């Protein structure tokens, strides 16, 4: 399928700024290079606070002064290796303002320093903290959703399955739901553009550190049994 001309232009721009793929890069150096392009958005949000959520750094975005806001717990993308709350600051500001919900962006631990399940453990802990501290931050504990993009969508889907607290909804933005890499899309789009199969393979190998099977539903949420999938909250993908 041909890319829309606007999408093709964006892809071309992104490729022009990249000298090599992730698979050919040192993961730490790739993270440093990615962080150098981060910027804090100037989009106004009513309140932004950096908080320690039981040992997990988080950033809370509140679009209004209302004291009964819904909340999206957001996990950034980056292959479980790259990214931060800063890389997705603009995204979270926009989501908060356009949805009218608060957003809690989670600074979960990254591989290779902290491979699986460290990032997932932080995601679960931050979500549980959000529910336990909802009232003090003007959040309705019955309206907590989880979401994220790419690897962050993977974490959100797994959190929704494990449900450390009741989850109302999932917002999964091109989520990684199957790390086995055997689907038609992996084969058809192996050469990119932008993200190649060899890059995904590198991300997954670094994340798992050779210690966990890609069949584990905590890694590939699509592998969960039907009863677990049926019990999950509704999702928009």
Q: What is the pLDDT of residue 14?
A: 75
In the chain, the number of structural domains is 1
Q: Which residues contact 51 (CB under 8 A, 6 or more apart)?
A: 57, 58, 59, 60
Q: Is residue 9 part of a domain?
A: no
What would the DSSP string read from start to end of 213-230? Answer: -TTSTTT-GGGS-HHHHH
Domain CATH number, residue 41: 3.40.50.1820
Q: Is residue 138 part of a domain?
A: yes
Q: Is residue 7 part of a domain?
A: no
Q: What is the pLDDT of residue 87?
A: 97
Tokens read off for 10? 């964006």
Q: Is residue 129 part of a domain?
A: yes
d(CA 216, CA 74): 22
What digits encode the pLDDT tens for the residues 180-197? 999 998 999 898 777 899
Q: Is residue 114 part of a domain?
A: yes
Q: Which residues contact 148 (CB under 8 A, 6 or more apart)?
A: 74, 75, 76, 77, 154, 155, 156, 171, 172, 173, 175
Q: Is residue 1 part of a domain?
A: no
Q: Is residue 95 part of a domain?
A: yes
What would the DSSP string read from start to end of 49-81? Answer: EEEEETTEEEEEEESSS-SSEEEEEEE--STTT
pLDDT in tens, the chain (237 residues): 678 999 888 888 877 776 678 989 999 999 999 899 888 789 999 999 999 999 999 999 999 999 999 999 999 999 999 999 999 999 999 999 999 999 999 999 999 999 999 999 999 999 999 999 999 999 999 999 999 999 999 999 999 999 999 999 999 999 999 999 999 989 998 987 778 999 999 999 999 999 999 999 999 999 999 999 999 999 999
Q: Is residue 146 part of a domain?
A: yes
Q: Specify the DSSP class assigned to residue 96.
A: H
Structural domain for 90, as ranges: 19-236
């Amino acid at each position: 399928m041909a890319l829309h001309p606007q999408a093709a232009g964006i892809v071309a721009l992104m490729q022009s700024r990249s000298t090599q793929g992730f698979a050919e890069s040192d993961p730490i150096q790739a993270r440093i290079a990615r962080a150098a392009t981060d910027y804090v958005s100037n989009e106004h949000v009513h309140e932004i606070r950096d908080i320690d959520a039981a040992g997990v750094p988080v950033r809370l975005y509140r679009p209004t002064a209302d004291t009964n806001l819904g909340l999206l717990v957001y996990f950034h993308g980056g292959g479980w290796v790259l990214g931060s709350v800063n890389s997705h600051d603009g995204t979270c500001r926009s989501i908060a303002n356009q949805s009218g919900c608060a957003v809690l962006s989670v600074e979960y631990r990254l591989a290779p320093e902290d491979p699986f399940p460290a990032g997932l453990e932080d995601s679960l802990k931050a979500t549980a903290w959000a529910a336990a501290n909802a009232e003090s931050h003007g959040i309705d504990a019955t309206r907590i959703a989880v979401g994220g993009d790419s690897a962050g969508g993977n974490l959100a889907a797994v959190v929704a399955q494990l449900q450390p607290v009741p989850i109302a909804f999932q917002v999964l933005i091109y989520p990684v739901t199957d790390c086995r890499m055997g689907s038609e899309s992996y084969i058809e789009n192996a050469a990119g553009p932008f993200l190649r199969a060899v890059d995904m393979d590198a991300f997954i190998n670094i994340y798992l550190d050779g210690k966990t099977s890609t069949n584990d539903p905590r890694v590939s949420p699509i592998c969960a049994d039907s009863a677990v999938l049926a019990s999950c909250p509704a999702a928009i993908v």
